[in-house]
Structure 1
Amino acid sequence: MTDQISVADLPLRPELRGQSAYGAPQLTVTNQLNTNENPYPPSAGLVEDLVAEVARLASTLNRYPERDSVGLREELASYVSRQTGVQVGVDNVWAANGSNEILQQLLQAFGGPGRRVLGFTPSYSMHPILAAGTQTEFIDLPRTGENFSIDIDAAVQAIGEKKPDIVFVTTPNNPTGGVTSVADLRRILDAGREAGGIVIIDEAYAEFSGEPSAAELIAEYPASLVVSRTMSKAFDFAGGRLGYFIADPAFIEAVMLVRLPYHLSTLSQAAATVALRHSNETLATVDALRGERDRVVAALEELGYGVVPSESNFIFFAVPGDAHDIWQRFLDHDVLIRDVGVTGHLRMTVGLPQENDAFLAAAATIIGEHT
C-alpha cells in the first residue's frame, strides 16, 4: 500500500478546493428528526404490490430499462393533474433519481462556465453545490426579516442587473418553511423572462402547503419556468430516490441532451409507479403531519421559542444561545435535529407523535436552562 493521500493532493478543479460535501449527520438515535423524511412507512398494500412487481420484473434485469421512463411519466402526469388541478401530459413531465438529479440536469443544460444562477439564502444547501459542480457561478441574495422572506423588489432589481441564466426559488422554502406567493412568483418570472433566463421553482414540499402550485403558471411562461418536485417527502419514499419536473415539452428535449442513458433503473421506475398508484393512502399521512406540525409550533411558542411560520413538514425556530451547542443539547436528550448553519436557529422535522413529544420535552428542559 502507498502512503495515504488527501483530496488536497489530487488535481481537483480549483473552485472545488476547500469545499465541503453535502451531508446531514447520520447518527443512530431514538428520535431522528433531522432530514425532513416522512416518518410513516409505506403501507402494507404498497409493499405487497411492490414485491409482486419486482418479482415480475426480476427476470428482465438482464435488459436495459425503458430509456425515457414513459410509463412512469404517464403516472406522474396523472398525479400532478389531480394534485394541482393543472392538466399536464407525459410530454410535460421528466423524472430522475431524486430532485437533486433533476436540478443537476437542468444546470448541465442551462448553466455551465460563464453562466450564473441566482438563489435566495438560506435555502436548499444543494443549490450552490450543484452550481459549483457544473461550473456555474452562484449569486447569493439573502432573505430578509425574522421570517426569512424574499425581498421581491430587491430580487427583481438583482435579476435585472445580474441577468442570471437561472433563478432558484424554493417554496415552501427549506430550511425556513415559508412560501412565496403566486403573485410574487409572477414578478420574479417577469424579471427572469426579461433577463433572458429561466426560473426553477423548487416545490419539494408542495404537498404540505395550502398554496397553489407554480405549475399553473407554465402556460404563461412556457420558455422560462420549470417546477421541480420530489416523491421523497410526502410520499414516504425517500429511499426510492425519485424526483421530477413539470414544464413545457421543450425543457424535456433540453435535458435529454445531457442526461445519462438509462439513468432510471427498471426497479426505480417500478417502485415509483407502484407508489403513485397508492398515492391516496400514502398522502393520507400528510394531513396527520400538518396537524402535528401545528401542535409542535404552538407548544414551542408557549415555551418561549421564536418560530418561523411553516407550510412544510419541518419547523425552523430560534434558540437561546449558540445554535450548535443547543443542537448538541438536543442530541444529549436522544433527539437528532438539524443545524443548517444559520446563526441562532435550528430545524426539526415533524415526526411521529411520540417523537415530537420527546423533542418538546427536550426543548422545555433546554430553554429552562437558559432562563
Structure 2
Amino acid sequence: YLIGQLFQGERALIVEPTFIEYRDSCEAFGYKVQSLILKEEDGWQLHYEMLESKLAEVDLVFICHPNNPTGVIYEPSLFERLLEQVEKTKTMLVIDEAFYDFCEESHSLAEQTKTSKHLIVLRSMTKMYAIAGLRLGYLLAHQDVVAKLSPLLPHWNVNGLAQEIGFRCLQDDDFVAKTKQYIAKERNKLLPSLQQLGYYCSSSNVNYFLLRDSNESSDELLKFLLEEGIISRHTHNFIGLDGKYLRLAIKREEENKRLLEALKRWKERC
C-alpha cells in the first residue's frame, strides 16, 4: 500500500494469477489496472515478448517472483531485458520476492536496486521464519526511491520486538539452507507421486504449488480435504484460475504423506 500511495492515480500492469493485494492497493489509490494473465498450457511462464509492448503504456509493473500461487520462477534473461527497457520507458518495476529464500538457487534482483531507479524489490520475513503474526518485511530500492517513500511511512511502523526478532532471523543462515534442502527433497517426492495419481501440479520451486483434479471447480475437493483435517487455499479470487485449482503447501514429511493418502482416497472415491 505504500507503493500504491506514492504512485496513486497512475497506470499499473499486474502479471497474474498472483497475490491479490497488488490489485487491492492499486484500486484503493485510483489506478487504472491492466492484467497480463499467464496460462497453465504455457507452464505459467512469463516471457519478455509478452511485456515488451505494454511497458510504454503503464507506469508500474507488478511481478511476483517466485510466483504466488504457482511457485514458478522465470528465466534470468527476462529480468535483464526488462531492466534495460524500463530505463527507457521510465516504468517502475515492482518485484515481490516474498518466497525467494525457498528457491535452491538465488533469483533475486536485490543487487540491481543499487543502480536502477526503476526497480523496487519487496521481501517478507514471515514465510521462511514462520513469524506471520509479526507482519515483518522490507523493501529494497535505489536511495532516491527510498527518499520518496520514507515520508509516507506511518510512525512506529515496525515495533521493537519485531525488529529484534527479524535481526536474529537474518543471522540464521544455517536454518535457511537446511529449510531449502528439506522443502526441495519433500517437493521432489510429493509432486511426482500426485502426478502419478492423475493430478496436475504446477512446476513449483518453492514451498507451495497448484493442484488441479479436473477442469471443474475444486470446491468439492476442498470440502473433502477439510473433512480429512487438511486446509487448502481456494483460488476463486485469483484472476485467471477460476476456482479450478487448490494451492497446497509442502510441509513436514509426515504431513505430506497424510496429504498424499487423502488425495489417493479422493481418487478412489471418484
TM-score by length of 2: 0.90
Deviations 1:150-201 (A, max 9, x none): 24312111223x2x21111111100011112221112223332322221011
Letter in 2 for 1:152: Y
Please provide the CA RMSD for this pair: 1.8
Distance 2:212 2:267 in 1: 11
Structure 1 spans left out of the alignment, 5+ residues: 1-103
Displacement of 1:367: 2.2
Which fold has the larger relative contact order, with Cα–Cα distance below 8 Å and residues 6 or more apart in sequence? 1
Distance 1:309 1:189 in 2: 25
Asked if 1:267 corresponds to 2:161, the answer is: yes
**SS in structure 1 of the partner of residue 63 of structure 2:** strand
**Aligned runs of 1:223-302 on 2, under 5 Å?**
223-281=117-175, 283-302=177-196
Tell me how many residue pairs correspond in the alignment: 262
Asked if 1:207 corresponds to 2:101, the answer is: yes
- Tell me the equivalent position of 1:329: 224
- Tell me the equivalent position of 2:263: 363
Structure 2 spans left out of the alignment, 5+ residues: none
- Correspondent of 2:36 among 141, 144, 147: 141
**Aligned runs of 1:96-245 on 2, under 5 Å?**
104-109=1-6, 111-113=7-9, 115-146=10-41, 147-160=43-56, 162=57, 164-209=58-103, 210-219=105-114, 222-245=116-139
- Tell me the equivalent position of 1:8: none
Verify the 8 A CA contact 2:101 2:176 in the aligned structure 1: no
**SS in structure 1 of the partner of residue 152 of structure 2:** coil
Verify the 8 A CA contact 1:240 1:271 in the aligned structure 2: no
**Aligned runs of 1:10-21 on 2, under 5 Å?**
none
The share of aligned pairs that are identical, in percent, is 22
Verify the 8 A CA contact 1:152 1:188 in the aligned structure 2: yes
- Tell me the equivalent position of 1:77: none
Letter in 1 for 2:253: P
Deviations 1:124-170 (A, max 9, x none): 1111011122222221111134222224312111223x2x2111111
Distance 1:238 1:283 in 2: 20
Distance 2:22 2:219 in 1: 23
Distance 1:282 1:153 in 2: 34
Asked if 1:349 corresponds to 2:245, the answer is: no
Distance 1:309 1:289 in 2: 14
Moved over 4 A (4+): none
Distance 2:166 2:117 in 1: 28
Verify the 8 A CA contact 2:47 2:78 in the aligned structure 1: no
Asked if 1:338 corresponds to 2:238, the answer is: no
TM-score by length of 1: 0.67
Displacement of 1:246: 1.8
Verify the 8 A CA contact 1:156 1:187 in the aligned structure 2: no
Deviations 1:270-319 (A, max 9, x none): 22122223342355223212211121111111111111100111011222
| Structure with max Cα Rg | 1
